[in-house]
Amino acid sequence: MTKRKVLVADKLSEEGINILQKELEVEVKTGLKEDELVKIIKNYDALIVRSATKVTRRIIENSYLKVIGRAGVGVDNIDVDAATERGILVVNAPFSNTIAACELTLGLMFSLVRNIPQANQSIKEGKWEKNKFLGLELYKKTLGVIGLGRIGKEVAIRAKGLGMNVVGYDPYIAKSTAAQIKIKMANLDELLKVSDIITLHTPLTKDTYHLIDFREFEIMKKGVYIINCARGGIINERALYDNLINQKVAGCALDVFENEPPEDNPLLKLPNVIATPHIGASTKEAQKMVSIEIAEEVIKALKGEPVRSCVNALTNSLQKEYTI
């Protein structure tokens, strides 16, 4: 029987490719533009992407895809509605990069309050400016965690271990989850009022787009720190810029931006902004695990077997139409 074909459109680790090749015919073609994908996508039963490739409605409507796999958590680069309309499963790999994203968040939090990148740059320029880089301790500070999914929960647990007070906001989790990790839950406005540091861990959806806007900055403490390792677009970058300039926000750390790469973004010109190029999942361990996870999910979907992480509203009965 002819093997089903999968197109891997973004870089995937060797471990995942090897798993795919046992069951499917695999082609790896990275860096393709929308027009190029439209021309060839009819030849494939499955498509695997990371965050670089945008899977648009036009691509989807010119395909015979059975499943789209996102090697990572967020699926805002995939038109999930268009996929659902055509009966295409969208699966992701939400379990593999939790620790990597959590640890980057903590690293950025330490860097922010202790001015580590700025001090590093200063000493490399031949300066010795000890008094310039007076920082803050995290001990007994209040951390507001917006979004208590896998990553937010792990950040909260580790922050508690640092002796921080942790306040959480997430309208979708059970009270038992907060009780389990022993943190206080609050509504968004309450969290904004009391937090010394705020970290974001929500997906980008219609409900969370510009969740942190001009109004929310007005509620925050003067001198608050902001961390976003989730998705660009959750914070209104214009509002963030203004509040960094007027020093309502003491500093921020961003791993994500509304437009990536963030060319000519004025935030990057500010001395109290730390930025990284969307590296939340960029550890050797996470890259290996996410590759394996998405490969296994795509194969299961094509076989009509139950998947762990279908992100659209399709059911396993629909999957049964597709068998290798």
Catalytic residues: 231, 260, 278
Alpha-carbon distance of 224 to 309, in angstroms, equals 35
The alpha carbon torsion through 73, 178, 170, 213 (nearest 10 deg) reads -100
Q: How far from the centroid of its chain's Cα atoms is residue 22's Cα?
A: 30
Rg (CA), the chain: 21
Q: What is each CA distance from 145 to 56, 140, 193, 210, in whole angstroms?
A: 32, 15, 13, 16
Strands (E), the chain: 5-8, 25-28, 46-49, 67-70, 89-92, 142-146, 165-169, 184-185, 197-200, 224-228, 249-254, 273-275
Beta bridge partners of 254: 228, 275
Q: What are phi and psi of 200, to 5 degrees?
A: -105, 135
DSSP string, 248-263: SEEEEEES--SSSS-T
CA dihedral 43, 45, 49, 55 (to 10 degrees): 70
What's the token pair of residue 295? 């490969």
- DSSP letter at 115 equals T
